[in-house]
Chain A
Amino acid sequence: MDIPVVENVLKLNDEVASINRKTLTQAGVYTVDLIGSPGSGKTSLLEATFKQIGEKARIGVLVGDLTTARDATRIAKWCPDVVQINTGKGCHLDANQVRQGLDRLKLEELDILVIENVGNLICPVGFDLGQNSKVGLFSVAEGDDKPAKHPYIVQEAELLLLNKMDLLPHVTFDMDVFKEDITRINPTVKLLEVCATNGWINEWCDWLLAKAGK
């Protein structure tokens, strides 16, 4: 006998995410879920962001990694409000892990929270964490086909960043293909070109400050 049901498989995660969102909104914190491949430059982007606007806005960071606290150690040089979450075998953060991370931050003192997700373009996308927006980070070294191969992040992101622009002359990367694929998957998503290691991140910083009302 069949019993029809219509339930979102991630209902429980989404319920905790709603609680996170309420907590963060009440504390006046703008929250970004930063998603990108291993090596795309997520931590370097955050380091450069602190260097550029660390005095204009107070930014907290939750860092997800399978193991090690290396990213948190790097970020701690710039910011006292950093919490490392080790996911063990988990390929993404879930709302409950973020919930526990939030308990370790003084949210009322923050303007912005960046959740640096586990390096992965697939798994993290489907899990709501309670963020205001998802930001997808690509780099030219990964190749121009990544949006087509990982459409979910392109669809879900409010902003996409293309990093390591200084390497463009040295790698095989067709900018037209990259942009056309993105436009086809998500005609309204914004794309900014950046280079975290050289500090070419002005537009990203402006976007972040505007979102946080700073």
Chain B
Amino acid sequence: MHEFSLATSLLDLVRANCPDNEVLESITIEAGPMRGIEPQAMQWAWEAATNDTDLHGVKFELIQQPWTLHCPNCQTTFEADDMFTDCDCGCSRTSPVDCDNLRLVRLTVKDHANELV
């Protein structure tokens, strides 16, 4: 259950990046396939980690990135659903590259325009 560790790490990071005068509505993280993050478990972990905190109720969005593979034969880089995908040139020695991202990429805060009405 590394999802729970990630969720608790996220709490501090979100607090550090959210401006004081804003009301946070949702956060978005981006995860590469190497990280082995299970979306349902991550959702549950976020809810559990934020329960009884100032971030309770903040929505969580996970963007799962596809495998990015590099072909040593023709030097192309392409996206695939499976880690062991051969290149269109026929090469079967493709290797994953940049597949271990784990980044907080967006905070969505309450729109001030709505408050003026």
What are the interface flags for B83-108 relative to A under an 8 Å C-beta threshold, 1 for contact and 0 otherwise?
Answer: 11000000011111001101111111
- Check B104–A9 contact: CB distance below 8 A: yes
Alpha-carbon separation in the docked complex, A90 to B6 (Å): 11
Interface size counted on chain B using CB atoms at 8 A: 37
A39 within 8 A of B: no
Q: What B residues does A90 contact at CB under 8 A?
A: 5
Distance in Å from the Cβ of B91 to the closest Cβ of chain A? 11
CB-nearest residue of chain A to B19: A3
B54 within 8 A of A: no
Q: What B residues does A1 contact at CB under 8 A?
A: 108-112
- Check A152–B34 contact: CB distance below 8 A: yes
CB-nearest residue of chain A to B17: A5
What are the interface flags for A100-127 relative to B under an 8 Å C-beta threshold, 1 for contact and 0 otherwise?
Answer: 0000000000000000000000110011
- Check A6–B84 contact: CB distance below 8 A: no
Alpha-carbon separation in the docked complex, A208 to B110 (Å): 55
Distance in Å from the Cβ of B58 to the closest Cβ of chain A? 13
Alpha-carbon separation in the docked complex, A40 to B48 (Å): 32
Distance in Å from the Cβ of B3 to the closest Cβ of chain A? 9
Q: Are A151 and B96 also in contact (CB < 8 A) when A9-B6, A9-B102 are?
A: yes
Instruction: Select the residue from B2, B22, B106, B107 with max chain A CB neighbours within 10 A.
Output: B2
B57 within 8 A of A: no
Q: Are A9 and B2 also in contact (CB < 8 A) when A1-B109, A148-B84, A185-B95 are?
A: no
Instruction: Select the residue from B34, B35, B93, B107 with max chain A CB neighbours within 10 A.
Output: B34
- Check A185–B19 contact: CB distance below 8 A: no
Q: What B residues does A5 contact at CB under 8 A?
A: 17, 104-107
Q: What B residues does A23 contact at CB under 8 A?
A: none
Please give the residue numbers on chain A whose beta carbons come within 8 Å of chain B beta carbons, in ascending order.
1-13, 89-92, 94, 122-123, 126-127, 148, 151-152, 155-156, 181, 183-187
